[in-house]
Amino acid sequence: MKKRWSNLVSPHKVHQTLGNTLEFFEDLIILALTLVIFYVSIVAIFDIISLIMYKEAKFMDIIPKFLYLFILTELFRLLIIYLKERIVDTSLIVKTTLIAVLREIIIKAPYFKFQDYIGASILILVLGLLYYVPKYVFKKEFYIKRSKQVKSVKKVDEFDKSTNF
């Protein structure tokens, strides 16, 4: 009994057990958020259908609702990717934010002042850079580093082949 208790309380097992428990609760939270977003998406689809079928819908009434549905879809994809791969896709977050900002601009554009347009333009420019830079610039740096590692591995392999023991 004492040995079993000491094995259970040993530092590496406590950290492993605590980490596994917290990951389990994190998965439950993410799953709950995913189900909520799925439900809200279904409600948004029915709202769009009822707006089109039963009311006289103007173009400017439908577009924000479609963009809202796109935002929900991107958030849903983000949560699914996180559950599968355990990584947060920053490009998907930036893309979702960009869609949300564009939705707000479309809704509020008639009421914007000149300064609002400048601020929205700067925000869209920053979000565009946040989307572009990690996806293309850092990826090239990763491939450059990776190709150098592959070349060094090839040199080691050639050395191993030449030194047959």
Inside any domain, residue 162 = no
Q: How many domains does the chain have?
A: 1
Pairwise CA distance, residues 144 & 135, whole Å: 14
- Look at residue 33 and tell me if it is in a domain: yes
In a domain, 151, yes or no: no
Residue 35 lies in a domain: yes
What's residue 156's pLDDT?
46
Each residue of 100-129: pLDDT tens digit?
A: 898 888 888 888 899 998 999 999 999 888
Domain span including residue 60: 2-111
- Token match 């002042």: residue? 113
Question: How far, in Å, CA of 97 to CA of 127, rounded?
Answer: 8
148 lies in some domain:
no
Query: pTM to 2 decimals?
Result: 0.65
* Token code pair at residue 116: 């609002």
Q: What is the pLDDT of residue 42?
A: 95
pLDDT at position 110? 84
Q: In which residue ranges of the chain is pLDDT below 70?
A: 1-12, 135, 137-165
| 43 inside domain | yes
